[in-house]
């Protein structure tokens, strides 16, 4: 059954996030901070590993800059945050309203940049990006769509389930809401797999994965509270990368 991999992924994230929320309520704040820092370090490691797949740093830079400009013009970060806010309101109450101390803006300028972002929305944004950026998302979705083989997505589901558990101990139910993003992006890739298989080359996938690695580094910086990188605004870079390879890649 095509699409089964995405359904499995969604189930794993929901179960992991639910368990994480239950565990998180029983953990001291210092433990949750340490968990978040550990996730930030691991996310940065994974990002560096993927970024090294590039064969041409200029292509990666071009994709990142062009994609970032497109993302800001389209207000991708703000729109994604808005989706998280609407999901939160649908639940009927402000879930996890207070942002943990280690995730609060460090200064007045940062506070102005995020005037009404709850912990729920932070969880939705971070989890959506982590679960939908990476080679397993691309390759697994294409494989699922072409042949119904869910091996890669099953592996991704296991990884995402444990990650959701860890994220949810600090970021709460917003992590579970990321299944909306998974359903749309990963499900969309699966549905368009035949077209993508005819177009994407190994080089395109490598460069796209490398750009995705840079986005993971940006997420890691956010988790470590080093810099408030607007990672979602760079998502169009994942589309720009294979186009640049098609035009300039050799």
196 or 109, which is more confident: 196
Task: Judge whether residue 111 has pLDDT over 70.
Answer: no
Average of per-residue pLDDT across 147-155: 87
Alpha-carbon distance of 199 to 98, in angstroms, equals 45
Give the chain's mean pLDDT.
84
User: Mean pLDDT lowest for which of 65-74, 87-96, 159-168, 173-182?
Assistant: 87-96
Local confidence band at 107 (pLDDT 50, 70, 90 cut-offs):
very low
Helical (H) or strand (E) element with 56: none
Task: Judge whether residue 108 has pLDDT over 80.
Answer: no
First to last CA, the chain: 37
User: Mean pLDDT lowest for which of 44-53, 139-148, 167-176, 212-221?
Assistant: 139-148
Local confidence band at 117 (pLDDT 50, 70, 90 cut-offs):
low
Alpha-carbon distance of 83 to 245, in angstroms, equals 32
User: How confident is the model at residue 99, as a pLDDT?
Assistant: 43
- Domain ranges for the chain: 4-248
Sign of CA dihedral 128, 18, 139, 189: negative
pLDDT digits (tens, 9 = 90+) for 12-65: 999 999 999 998 878 888 888 888 888 889 889 988 988 998 999 999 999 999
pLDDT digits (tens, 9 = 90+) for 62-75: 999 999 999 999 99
Average of per-residue pLDDT across 88-103: 54
């Amino acid at each position: 059954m095509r699409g089964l991999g995405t359904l499995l992924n969604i189930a794993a994230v929901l179960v992991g996030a639910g368990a994480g929320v239950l565990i998180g309520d029983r953990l001291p704040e210092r433990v949750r901070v340490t968990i978040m820092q550990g996730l930030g370090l691991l996310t940065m490691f994974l990002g560096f590993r993927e970024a090294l797949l590039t064969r041409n740093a200029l292509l990666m830079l071009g994709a990142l800059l062009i994609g970032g400009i497109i993302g800001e013009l389209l207000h991708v970060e703000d729109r994604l945050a808005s989706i998280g806010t609407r999901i939160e309101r649908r639940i009927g109450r402000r879930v996890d309203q207070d942002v943990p101390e280690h995730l609060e803006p460090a200064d007045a300028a940062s506070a102005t940049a995020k005037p009404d972002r709850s912990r729920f929305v932070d969880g939705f944004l971070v989890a959506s990006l982590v679960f939908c950026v990476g080679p397993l998302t691309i390759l697994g979705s294409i494989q699922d769509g072409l042949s119904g083989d869910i091996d890669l997505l099953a592996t991704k589901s296991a990884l995402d389930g444990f990650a959701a558990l860890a994220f949810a101990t600090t970021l709460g139910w917003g992590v579970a809401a990321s299944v909306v993003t998974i359903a749309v992006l990963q499900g969309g890739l699966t549905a368009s797999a035949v077209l993508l298989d005819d177009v994407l080359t190994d080089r395109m996938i490598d460069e796209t994965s490398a750009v995705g690695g840079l986005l993971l580094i940006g997420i890691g910086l956010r988790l470590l509270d080093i810099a408030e990188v607007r990672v979602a605004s760079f998502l169009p870079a994942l589309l720009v990368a294979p186009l640049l390879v098609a035009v300039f890649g050799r």
